[in-house]
Structure 1
Amino acid sequence: MSTAKMLIDPNRVRSILATDCGSTTTKAILIEKQPDGAYRLICRGEAPTTVEAPFDDVTIGVTNAIREVEELCGRRLLDDGGEPLTPQQEDGSGVDLYLSTSSAGGGLQMTVIGVVKRMSAESAQRAALGAGAIVIDVLATDDGRKDFERVERLRQLRPDILLMAGGTDGGTVIHLVEMAEMLLAADPRPRLGHNTKLPVIYAGNPDAYPQVAEILNGHFDLRQVPNLRPSLERENLGPAREAIHEVFLQHVMQQAPGYSKLLNWTSADIMSTPNAVGKIMQTIAEQQGINLLGVDIGGATTDVFSVFDGHFTRTVSANLGMSYSICNVLAEAKIARICRWLPFPVEPSEVRNQLRNKMIRPTTIPQLLTDLLLEQAVCREALALAFEHHKSLARDLFGVAQAKNVGQIFEQKTSKSFINSLDLDMIVGSGGVLSHAPLRAQAALMMLDAFQPEGFTLLTVDSIFMMPQLGVLSTLHPEAATHVFQRDCLVYLGTCIAPIGVSREGEPCVTVEGEGWKDTVPFGALRLYSLGLNAAGEPMEQEITVTPSRAFDLGAGRGRAVRRVVKGGVVGLIVDARGRPLQLPADPEARLHCLQQWYRALNIPLPQQNRTVVETNVS
């Protein structure tokens, strides 16, 4: 980082320009300090990303997006050479900070190699995911593959960076040497820069490094960092993540067309888009003292972020998305699980045809209400699958010795997930299918069905997907990032109250009581109460008492009342008395009846008439 990039005084920042270079679209936002001292979003522009032929220069798309912002705000932001003008001038032109994030060119793609799949390889995977990478494969000595299959797989992969880990301090050496020999035999090539060496970050047993270096030096760009699993009881992921970020800037960004020029423009280092989103999630969770779950569902991948009691975890499901990967969702979830969310009868063959057409025409958008509801059904399954994947990695370390009593002696569980839905305070949804849902209640219902929150949970969505820019801003100016995130980025949908338990349909489930009103919600129902936004656009608050029946629990114990101040939103206060875990009726007619009742409860429109054919937009 240059000296200029290290001398940023947040107190003197009046205006901020930030861009996010996505795989298809480059987004630019302008943030300014208001007279009351708060930072607010002024306007936003976008343009096609230009990292590929025929342009081969990412800065062209960046400049075009900023030009649109200039037109909208009526200010000069670029100098005569087309570069962002910094700092802000006396006449008001320019900005004090210019920042950027990027996932153009497929983002940061990594391969992970470890000794034991559920221990060192899993820790390495957490390090890579937390640094904003897409892990395209995890190889380990106990992954079930033969040596020649691992060599063949490594030759097929074209990662940006390879992370190698294994062995505690003073632990195994021979396995790491064998892994190095396998890597040398495979000789994988980097995705970018055909004449460059593949960067390999070694984060394993330091005792094995001299032998590993003797094998790999000269063939790879090898660098060592402290062991990410120095003992069975401890992870040390920070140095590996910092090395990944450094290599991302020095190798990956330098090889991508136009990024060396963009690096000279920015006031701080470029950050990968997923890493930036994780930063803003961590910042908000820390400042508000809450447990948070965030999701970004795109066309090809679904990222899930969580912060629970200070533990930050990010996972990416690289084969779950709403366009390019939509048929992978179909393959993993199966057709019956997707169709179960449709509030109208449909033939499975028609659903398959619809989804296959979406895969080969990924830029099309739903033209009919039935098309929209089908995509939202796929979204539920993609989110649920990604959430299960996330919970499998957001947990205690495998291999740690645990004290057990006599009753636990035969239990096989060796780790516990950090994710506890009862302790979850907020869910943040992002991605086109959630952020751009025609009705905010549709986004709320998708998240309720997919994540099945328990107790009291505030539901929110990202308004226009500015979290990447706010994430990189949070590393330099947390106050400005927080202001914009809370006032311009987050759309508050409302609080969901969901008791844990099951009962017979129609039996009393929970009684909700506020000042001057009281209502009992039966099991199997959704109920919406008016609790919106105030004149300033902030969620209104109300103190209520919620009393579950003896079969249900809201966190205080079965049948015990909970008094809580809840926040409203553009949807309102939602009581989800459908039970946890949520189970849809097996009978098709009963299932359709339930779905239609739930849609009506949240004022979500249904198709005018039942159709057995789901039409496809082929324009």
Structure 2
Amino acid sequence: MQYDEKRLTRIVATDCGSTTTKAILIEWIDGEYRQTVRGEAPTTVEAPLNDVTKGVINATQELEELARLKYHNPNIKFMENGEFVIPRRGDVGVDAYVSTSSAGGGLQMMVTGVVASMTGESAERAALGAGAIVMDLIASNDKRMNHEKIERIRELRPDMILMAGGEDGGTIKHVVEMAELVSAADPKPRLGSGFKLPVIYAGNKDARDYVRECLQDKVDLIITDNIRPKLEIENLKPARDKIHELFLDHVMKQAPGYDKLMKWCQGPDHEPVPIMPTPAAVGNIMQAIAREENIEVVGVDIGGATTDIFSVFTEEFIFNRTVSANLGMSYSISNVLASSGLENIMRWVPLDIDEGYLRNMIKNKMIRPTTIPYLLEELVLEQAIAIEALRLAFEQHKEFASTLKGTQRQRDISEAFSQSTSGETLVNLMTLDLLVGSGGVLSHAPRRSQTMMLLINAFLPEGITRLAVDSIFMMPHLGVLSEISTKAATEVFHKDCMIYLGTCVAPVGKGKVGKPALTAKLELPDGSTWEEQIPFGEVRLIPCGVGEVAKANLKTHGGLILDENKNKELEVELKGGVVGIVLDTRGRQPFVLPTEKAERIATLKKWIQAFNAYPEQILK
């Protein structure tokens, strides 16, 4: 149900995170929706309070107090007798209340498939897109013994299991074998010990009766449409809808206080609005923006324990999400070092720092995960680690966000059961329109130019790409809001959520350092002209503010190209931002840093100076 501004003039949205409950107020002001006030409080899902609504009430009370101060109106009251006041009465109450949640560890799932790289990955895509953390993928060809798979299901205790496998009309043998493994494990849910574990079956329809016979007495079995009805068709929506439905009925209802919170969440007509998992809500707003503006989008949320990457690509707006559960900036920071290697982190450090200093810093961060950098050297090291965490997470995402595997050519059974089968990635940086960053290391960097530098160094955008950062991690709130008002969600996204950093122009191809790479002539909004022939391996930053546009003539040299059509010369309009327009001639495919230490540090300092990223003392 979508509502217009006549029905929605004041909305409260909350995100119940694992540690903090964040509340925002969105209002219809002077013909547009704006986010006006923000409050937060500790999440109260655990002992001693054991009631998530206590944290919601505390965060909402802060909203009330700040709104009263803002409007000099003591009558504003969003809650009455412990409930949201809906519909609005004069200056009292709100028209709608919506919420997301990742409290209690969010939605944790296991998925099963017959072939890991085919139906297994389709099941994983369905679960990730619904906002789940996928704890494990169990498949017939994953090289584990049956007893190991059974033990794994028992020890993980997921919130639910999604079973896929087989195309409709195909063999049922392996699908039934997976059902027998789940039955033998007799899994118990993580929350609500008196309830049966929800299991969604979305595989070969011919196997439904066998699966039902095998599982219905031990689990709460839900049957829905096949995720891969044919090898060349992927049908994720029915499974995702069931996951959301079960998330509310079997997971949220078992968490302390969520039954009350679900009753609070409603629109102007007292229509219930479901609570969404936080990552699913972020995916919602990404898809809404992509469709609204007809653009391709990549978003990242880098946290303390995980890094989530979201993408919407192609004319069909295909949405993908991946969770790099071992890449984060506090709890998982040692995993970044292990996955990336010390050398890859140190290559981004423009200082002659002892490697032991970096190791000690990482260990201290693990012991005290909530600390933030105190010294400039610590900030530089943390941001170098962030670049590698983002790079690795994006590499994983590119592999996962791919065309359907198994559909390219005829295969015999031995090939089908090998792990080498691979589709082509959907991620095309040359056609990417918008790159959005969020998470503490990006949203709260001391300088916005640092955020722009981190995103460019980590993702290496190609061609012409606009960059932005989420100001206060408002995307979950807007994602669930888009369920009742896409207009309100997208307007607030552009005006209050996104801080547009600027545009990056990055020609693709190889070149020689010092040789001409790009001739750029820009007509700036103030009437001045900027013109330069930029050598290969350089960075230039041209100031151009938010809402401003520069008319540019771009011409590459050598084998460098500017877009997917392999154009070497373009007349384009480049949008500005709080940082400006970056012309990056450091090359792509491959991007190479000098290997010799002194040369690399000198090169990094030159780029940092161009970005105006760090104070001058670091360049000495």
TM-score normalized with structure 2 length: 0.93
- The verdict on how the C-alpha distance between 1:556 and 1:107 changes in structure 2, with shifts beyond 3 A counting, is closer
**Equivalences, count:** 592
CA distance in 2, matches of 1:264, 1:402: 51
Does residue 207 (structure 1) correspond to residue 206 (structure 2)? The answer is yes
Aligned match of 2:7:
12
Aligned match of 1:420:
428
CA distance in 1, matches of 2:442, 2:564: 32
- The verdict on how the C-alpha distance between 1:365 and 1:556 changes in structure 2, with shifts beyond 3 A counting, is closer
Residue 68 of structure 1 aligns to a residue in which SS? helix
The alpha carbon displacement at 1:239 in A equals: 0.3
Aligned match of 2:597:
588
Aligned match of 1:524:
537
Residue 43 of structure 1 aligns to a residue in which SS? strand
8 Å Cα contact 1:84-1:94 kept in structure 2: yes
Aligned match of 2:72:
none
8 Å Cα contact 2:2-2:486 kept in structure 1: no
8 Å Cα contact 1:124-1:228 kept in structure 2: yes
Q: How does 1:115-514 map to 2 (within 5 A)?
A: 115-267=114-266, 268-309=273-314, 310-402=317-409, 414-514=422-522
Q: What is the CA deviation profile of residues 231-265 of structure 1, one whole-angstrom value per residue up to 9, with x for unaligned ones? A: 00101101000000000000000001110010011
The alpha carbon displacement at 1:607 in A equals: 7.5
CA distance in 1, matches of 2:287, 2:421: 29
Aligned match of 1:32:
27
Deviates more, 1:350-359 or 1:196-205: 350-359
CA distance in 1, matches of 2:107, 2:437: 22
Aligned match of 1:616:
none
Residue 423 of structure 1 aligns to a residue in which SS? coil
The alpha carbon displacement at 1:610 in A equals: 9.3
- The verdict on how the C-alpha distance between 1:559 and 1:428 changes in structure 2, with shifts beyond 3 A counting, is closer
CA distance in 1, matches of 2:600, 2:174: 53
CA distance in 1, matches of 2:605, 2:619: 12
**What is the one-letter code of the residue matched to 1:38?**
E
The alpha carbon displacement at 1:357 in A equals: 1.1
The alpha carbon displacement at 1:606 in A equals: 4.7
Aligned match of 2:40:
46
Instruction: Please point out which of 49, 62, 72 is paired with 1:68.
Output: 62
CA distance in 1, matches of 2:79, 2:615: 52
CA distance in 1, matches of 2:509, 2:560: 5
CA distance in 2, matches of 1:334, 1:47: 38
Deviates more, 1:502-511 or 1:288-297: 502-511
CA distance in 2, matches of 1:383, 1:98: 34
- The verdict on how the C-alpha distance between 1:518 and 1:608 changes in structure 2, with shifts beyond 3 A counting, is closer
**What is the one-letter code of the residue matched to 2:34?**
R
CA distance in 2, matches of 1:556, 1:165: 36
CA distance in 1, matches of 2:564, 2:169: 47
Deviates more, 1:168-177 or 1:435-444: 168-177
RMSD: 1.7
Aligned match of 2:270:
none
8 Å Cα contact 2:172-2:207 kept in structure 1: yes
CA distance in 1, matches of 2:522, 2:2: 52
CA distance in 1, matches of 2:208, 2:410: 34
Instruction: Please point out which of 599, 602, 610 is paired with 2:608.
Output: 599
CA distance in 1, matches of 2:597, 2:579: 29
- The verdict on how the C-alpha distance between 1:440 and 1:559 changes in structure 2, with shifts beyond 3 A counting, is same
- The verdict on how the C-alpha distance between 1:597 and 1:401 changes in structure 2, with shifts beyond 3 A counting, is closer
Q: What is the CA deviation profile of residues 193-251 of structure 1, one whole-angstrom value per residue up to 9, with x for unaligned ones? A: 11211110000011111111111111101110010100001011010000000000000
**What is the one-letter code of the residue matched to 2:570?**
V
8 Å Cα contact 2:5-2:28 kept in structure 1: no
Aligned match of 1:617:
none
The alpha carbon displacement at 1:77 in A equals: 3.1
Q: What is the CA deviation profile of residues 40-94 of structure 1, one whole-angstrom value per residue up to 9, with x for unaligned ones? A: 011100001011111110000000001111111105334332222211112x111
8 Å Cα contact 1:549-1:558 kept in structure 2: no
- The verdict on how the C-alpha distance between 1:483 and 1:558 changes in structure 2, with shifts beyond 3 A counting, is closer
CA distance in 2, matches of 1:552, 1:413: 32
8 Å Cα contact 2:605-2:619 kept in structure 1: no
Deviates more, 1:424-433 or 1:67-76: 67-76
Aligned match of 2:417:
none
Residue 80 of structure 2 aligns to a residue in which SS? coil
Residue 476 of structure 2 aligns to a residue in which SS? helix
The alpha carbon displacement at 1:10 in A equals: 5.4
Q: What is the CA deviation profile of residues 553-609 of structure 1, one whole-angstrom value per residue up to 9, with x for unaligned ones? A: 112666721111110000000001111132111000111001111111111225736
- The verdict on how the C-alpha distance between 1:413 and 1:499 changes in structure 2, with shifts beyond 3 A counting, is farther
**What is the one-letter code of the residue matched to 1:60?**
K
Residue 6 of structure 2 aligns to a residue in which SS? helix
- The verdict on how the C-alpha distance between 1:339 and 1:389 changes in structure 2, with shifts beyond 3 A counting, is same
CA distance in 2, matches of 1:557, 1:104: 46
CA distance in 2, matches of 1:481, 1:557: 34
8 Å Cα contact 2:200-2:223 kept in structure 1: yes
Q: What is the CA deviation profile of residues 85-144 of structure 1, one whole-angstrom value per residue up to 9, with x for unaligned ones? A: 211112x11110111000011110100011100111010000001101010110101112
- The verdict on how the C-alpha distance between 1:558 and 1:266 changes in structure 2, with shifts beyond 3 A counting, is closer
8 Å Cα contact 1:10-1:476 kept in structure 2: no
Aligned match of 2:414:
none
CA distance in 2, matches of 1:385, 1:136: 19
8 Å Cα contact 1:345-1:610 kept in structure 2: no
- The verdict on how the C-alpha distance between 1:179 and 1:413 changes in structure 2, with shifts beyond 3 A counting, is closer
**What is the one-letter code of the residue matched to 1:585?**
P
Deviates more, 1:290-299 or 1:497-506: 497-506
CA distance in 1, matches of 2:382, 2:171: 49
Q: How does 1:74-85 map to 2 (within 5 A)?
A: 74=68, 76-85=76-85
Residue 167 of structure 2 aligns to a residue in which SS? coil
